[in-house]
Amino acid sequence: MADRSLAGGSGSGGPRVGRRGFIGAGLAGAGALVVPVAAATARSKRATPRAGGPIGQKSLQATYPHLPAIPQDPLDALVQKLDAAGFLIHMHAMGDGAVRAGLDSIEYAMQKDGPADRRDQIAHLNVVDPKDIPRFGKLGVAANFSSIWFAADDPASAPTLTLLGPARSKYVFPIGSIAAAGGRLTGGSDWPQLSMSPLDYIQYAVTRQPLDGSKPALQPEQRITLPQAIAAYTKDAAWVVKDDTLDGTLEAGKAADIVVLDQDLFKIDTMSIHKVHVLLTLLEGATVYRDTALSLP
């Protein structure tokens, strides 16, 4: 793709709305914070093997003797084959065993295939064994989170915490710890979930409370900052699908994929982020949405 302009020109080919899941890139407007957004999950060239089942096999079987949905050896073989073919690995792993199985399989592929420009990611991360938390940074595997689940009133959370018990519940969606240990965070939607709005997800990530604040935070020590949450839904979401030369940040030469908001996220209460309105959406410089309240010269 050549000659994308940050200047907001309409471009010759017009918008190609379907090429990514969300709208990406941003540009500062008058009195408005602009949030570049890209989807962590939108990429055709990806593998989505389910590391699923609550427990992985190789390293956790002694502790949790349940059989995983995909045993480790075939998972390793599959991931390595896809890795060798240049696929970006994208796994959804809910339990700590599944997370470890996923990390193990990626590490296996790395050892076997050698260095490469990998953008592998593991999504969900409902609970992570503390020993695996630094492995995201070490291996360069992105932690893809759907923060809408962080609210304690989510139907999945209460039974999960009861099942896990207090010690392991400390590591429910431990994105704060993963980031502190040098891991890259990338925001996903895991659509179809409850919302497709990145603003909702950003608020959940920084508060870990229901949007209306009606319940206390779920493991508040795992909150991330607003810059971290915005980066996860913009530049790092672009990075993980190798779109970082195209969008995710405001830079000359990148696509003018822009969202203009009616409020500066850094100047409002975090509990109000979900109420912020999108005034304008540009895709490759072309308007694909414009609020009637926005007057442009």
The nearer residue to Zn ion, 32 or 42, going by C-beta atoms, is 42
Tell me how crowded residue 75 is: count the other CB atoms within 10 A of its CB.
26
Binding-residue total with Zn ion (CB under 5 A): 2
Residue nearest to Zn ion (CB): 92
The nearer residue to Zn ion, 107 or 190, going by C-beta atoms, is 190
Stretch touching Zn ion by CB under 5 A, among 8-16, 25-33, 79-87, 185-193? 185-193
| 3 state SS of 261 | strand
Cα-to-chain-centroid distance, residue 23: 14
The nearer residue to Zn ion, 174 or 285, going by C-beta atoms, is 174
Stretch touching Zn ion by CB under 5 A, among 58-66, 85-93, 202-210, 236-244? 85-93
Minimum Å distance from CB 144 to Zn ion?
A: 9
Minimum Å distance from CB 271 to Zn ion?
A: 27
Minimum Å distance from CB 94 to Zn ion?
A: 8
Stretch touching Zn ion by CB under 5 A, among 3-11, 56-64, 92-100, 276-284? 92-100
Q: Exactly one of 190, 262, 274, 289 binds Zn ion (CB under 5 A); which one?
A: 190
Q: Is the Cβ–Cβ distance between 260 and 280 less than 8 Å?
A: yes
Cis peptide bond prior to 297, omega within 30° of 0: no
The nearer residue to Zn ion, 190 or 262, going by C-beta atoms, is 190
The nearer residue to Zn ion, 166 or 192, going by C-beta atoms, is 192
Ramachandran category for residue 11: left, alpha or beta (phi over 0 → left; psi -120 to 50 → alpha): left
Stretch touching Zn ion by CB under 5 A, among 12-20, 86-94, 212-220, 250-258? 86-94
Using CB under 5 A as the binding rule, whether residue 92 contacts Zn ion is answered as yes
Look at residues 180, 166, 189, 169 and name the one whose alpha carbon lies nearest to residue 39.
189
CA 225/CA 227 separation, integer angstroms: 6
The nearer residue to Zn ion, 98 or 218, going by C-beta atoms, is 98
Q: Which residue is associated with the tokens 């500062």?
A: 28
Nearest 5°: phi and psi at 104? -60, -40
Q: Is the Cβ–Cβ distance between 68 and 98 less than 8 Å?
A: yes
Q: Sign of the C-alpha dihedral, residues 77, 49, 20, 121? A: negative
Q: What residue ranges bind Zn ion (CB under 5 A)?
A: 92, 190
